[in-house]
Chains A and B, each alone.
Chain A
């Protein structure tokens, strides 16, 4: 079955760009499914970031719009998330998930700390 695994470069400096990938195994990223990113700040609840489809159709949270880009990398069978102009408020565990449209498969999450 489909499995997801997030990865990222580690700490990010304020005003920098956060870049994450989500490797898809056991299936193709080119499907009828959509793919989402969700984040969870320390000790807080879940926040929907946005979603994409391999066709390029995307939806983003208005609170992040203008800073966030989600895309599908068909060659490497993965998703990508880019978030620009980060601040400490972007420190969180970031999850990728398959949307059918409920989020039925999740990656284990990757922690991103924004700090100078």
Chain B
């Protein structure tokens, strides 16, 4: 199985700040990397697919980059509604594993 490791596991930030979350794959996955946002009690929502493509309806302050084994999700200027958990997922090879998640909290 391909292991996905996110860092940090938790992050405190303020509204308006720029934040970056990192995801590392245990082997090369090309650009087959997705990012999801999940709020408490709700289903995850797709933000980014193929490492850097913004899903329909997702605000442009979200961006993704990377290829191979190292990927990042960046939120350019945090808004109150962005405080949530974020997960990366590889869909290069089944099982399509998720990272352990990053909890983004208000400072």
Residue of A nearest to B90 (CB): A48
CB within 8 Å: A-B pair count:
59
Residue of B nearest to A96 (CB): B43
Number of interface residues of B (CB under 8 A): 23
Main secondary structure of the interface of B (DSSP, over half): loop
B95-107 Cβ-contact flags toward A at 8 Å (1 or 0): 1111111000000
Where the two chains meet, the residues of A that have a C-beta atom closer than 8 Å to any C-beta of B are 36, 38, 45-48, 50-51, 59-63, 95, 99, 101-104, 106-109
Residue of A nearest to B45 (CB): A106
B14 interface contact, C-beta 8 A: no
Asked if A48 and B96 make an inter-chain contact with CB atoms under 8 angstroms apart, the answer reads yes
Quick one: given A46-B87, A48-B89, A62-B1, are A106 and B97 in contact (CB under 8 Å)?
no
B94 interface contact, C-beta 8 A: yes
